[in-house]
Amino acid sequence: MLLPNGIRHLPGYLDRPAQEALVEAIRAVVAEAPLFTPVMPGTGKEMSVRMTNCGSLGWVTDKQHGYRYQPTHPVTGRPWPAMPAQLLDLWRDIAGYETPPEACLVNFYSDDARMGLHQDRDEQDLKAPVLSISLGNTCLFRVGGLNRNDRTLSFKLSSGDIVILGGEGRLCFHGVERIYPATSTLLKNGGRINLTLRRVQP
């Protein structure tokens, strides 16, 4: 399968122990910064994923103020927890970008959640890639081009897979069409976690 330029899929990059260690680290993040339900700007419609963040900045959205990065959790008002060392190491090993990521968006998908086609364009620094890590149940990931109506292709992402959206592919539309229940034993209660590491400021 030929992916658009700048988009890389690294299947099975993380072995099982590395996946388990990441889940532990994310549990600690969620204990400090609880998952919240994001809503679309304008319409106020709830998204089906739940989210939190770690790092110095976190991505949030609400009806009034829309998509943005901010240094504090929208519900607790506290700073986001620090980014776990494993994530900084992964970025150093594969992002090919000198400065470290500032934000890690944690998306939790129940088995019936999905994410519509969108671009990641709320970052000021669009030269840095977005590095995405899949944990738990397999999903069907869809990627298109730079215009919403461009042809898309879909492929599965399994636990431990990494996707990099960089270079010419940095602003490609992408989304999650569906989660396949019971395809991984990593998360006891099913579902899928996606982590995306982002550099926000130049």
Residue positions forming the annotated binding site for 2-oxoglutarate: 107-109, 192-198
Q: For residue 17, how far is the Cα from the chain centroid?
A: 20
Which residues contribute to the annotated binding site for substrate? 59, 67-69, 122, 148
- Which one of ligand SIN, Fe ion, none interacts with residue 161, CB within 5 to 8 A by kind? none
Question: Which member of 73, 142, 170, 174 binds ligand SIN (CB under 6 A)?
Answer: 174
For the segment 130-149, give every residue that binds ligand SIN (CB under 6 A). 132, 141
Q: What are the structure tokens assigned to 41, written together?
A: 């700007």
Q: Interface with ligand SIN includes 107 (CB under 6 A)?
A: yes
Question: Which member of 61, 138, 184, 194 binds ligand SIN (CB under 6 A)?
Answer: 194
Of 120 and 123, nearer to Fe ion (C-beta) is 120
What SS3 state is found at 14? coil
Of 19 and 132, nearer to ligand SIN (C-beta) is 132
Q: Interface with ligand SIN includes 19 (CB under 6 A)?
A: no
Q: Are 188 and 33 in contact (CB under 8 A)?
A: no
Of 9 and 71, nearer to ligand SIN (C-beta) is 9
* Helical residues (DSSP H) of the chain, grouped into ranges: 16-32, 85-94
Q: What are the structure tokens assigned to 121, written together?
A: 């364009």
- Cα–Cα distance between 133 and 87 in angstroms, integer? 10
CA angle 18, 113, 5 (to 5 degrees): 65
Other Cβ atoms within 10 Å of 42 Cβ, number: 9
Residue 157: name the closest of 123, 107, 122 by CA.
107
Binding site for Fe ion (CB under 5 A): 120
- Cβ of residue 97: shortest distance to ligand SIN, in angstroms? 18
Binding site for ligand SIN (CB under 6 A): 107, 115, 132, 141, 174, 176, 194, 196
